[in-house]
Amino acid sequence: MRAYPHAVDTSRFAVLHDAAESMLDDLHERYMVERRESKELLGAEEALVRMVRLIPRTPAAGPLAIAFTDFPGLVVRLGRWWAEMLPACGCEACDEDPAELVGVLRGQVAALIEGGLWERVRRGVGGSWFETRLIGVELSARREGPLTSRDARDARRCGFAAPVQWAPWPFRPLGV
C-alpha cells in the first residue's frame, strides 16, 4: 500500500494499527481461533509487511487476515475474497476520518464473526468471477471481481462452486 503523493499527515492513521492490534488480542481471547503472525509481500513491488491471521478452529467459520502497512494503514481480508484497504487513499483531498475507518474495521470484522459473510464463484462467458456479500449491524455490502482460471479451479475444489455462508466463530469455553 503506497502513500498517495498528496498525503501529508499520514501519522493520523496510526490509530488504525492500535485499534487492529487491540481487536486481534480481544478476538484471540474470546474465540476459538489460531493466531498466526508472519512477514509477507502484499504485491510484487511492495515491501514486507506484518500479517496477522486469526483462523477459527472450525473450518466452517471464515478466517480473518490483517496486514499492517508502513503508511500506516491496514489491508483487511475476510474469508477468501473480501478485502478492504484502510484508508483507501489517505490523501488530504479525500479527508478520510481515522475514527470512521476504525468503525468500518470493527463493523466488518463483527459481521464475519457473526456469520454474515457469503461467498461464491460463478462462471460467465468471459471467465469466472467471485461474488461476496457481507451483512452485519448497519452493514450490507456486495462485491465481485474476476478470477484467473487457476484461482477459479482452486475455489471450486474447495467448495465455492455453490454459495458458501461462513459460520459464526465458536466462543472459547470459559476458563480456557
pTM: 0.90
Phi, psi of 4 (to 5 degrees): -65, 140
- pLDDT below 50 — which residues of the chain? 1-4
Please give the pLDDT value at position 45: 73
Burial 62-74 (b: 16+ CB within 10 A, else e): bbbbbbbbebbbb
Each residue's pLDDT tens digit, 107-144: 999 999 999 999 999 888 889 999 999 999 999 999 99
**Cβ neighbours, 10 Å, residue 92:** 12
Contact predicate 69/1, CB 8 Å: yes
